[in-house]
Structure 1
Amino acid sequence: MDRIILILVAVIGATGVQYLIRYKQWNAVRASSFLALLVAVIFKLAFNGSSNYLVNAIPPLFLGATFVGMVSAKQTSSFISIGLAAVLYSLLFIYSGKYYQGYGGLLGTTACVSLLVVLSSKYLKSNKKLRLGLRKLARTGKNVITDK
């Protein structure tokens, strides 16, 4: 049950930021920081001193989920892809959190990985072959290293 709550919190965080960006014309940093600060203050005031797992896990999970929601609307066309990236982010957060102890970067790294997986999935299901930019440059006769 805890995992389902954490997944829902991540989806709410990511789609909330994307909503503020798309429909209220906030910039990404303002939307992310506003929602993350709001959740942090609510949890600090309501559950101060509690040692419950969810109380301790929701604020950092929500903050990282807002990183997922900061993606440009030009890159993602729907809230469904944001939601899928948030679900993937929450699963990575839940199951890989213990491996990042002492390294830092858990929130940003897992947000980046989850977004890259979702954004690249449209290329995997297309019937077109992926082309490298070097092939296009080779047809024009330019050398990537020497020509500028």
Structure 2
Amino acid sequence: MDLFTDVDVTAGQAEAMGRAMLAVARADGAADPREVALIEELAPVDATASDPTSAELATAFPDAAGRDLVLKSALLVALVDGDYSEAEKAVVASYAEAFGVTPDRLEELASSVKAYLMAPLLSLANTGAVVEVSRKLKV
């Protein structure tokens, strides 16, 4: 399953997306090492960089494909540690609102990210573990 479609981003957009992902990771107090590792794989970011404003992101990503990319990346970071906290949800929701993304569309994007995270587990023999992860992700 491919989560990310081919979206060309500039260096500035990649940096803004990295800062957005880092903001989500830091939203609940401290970035989990799994979140940081994922961010480092997806986008260049200085760990001391300031969080982007919603308006800054909306300006940097004027088209729907780029905005979906930012939201899916933010959701992936929020979900990778298995704890999608209320603080992380608030940050992601603020980005979605700035982008003009409806709550229903945000839920569609979240479902696609959850399915992406679950896909490798579906072939495991330990179905109990798969069910437990599924419950934790609320799939």
Please identify the structure whose Cα radius of gyration is greater. Answer: 1
TM-score under structure 2 length normalisation:
0.37
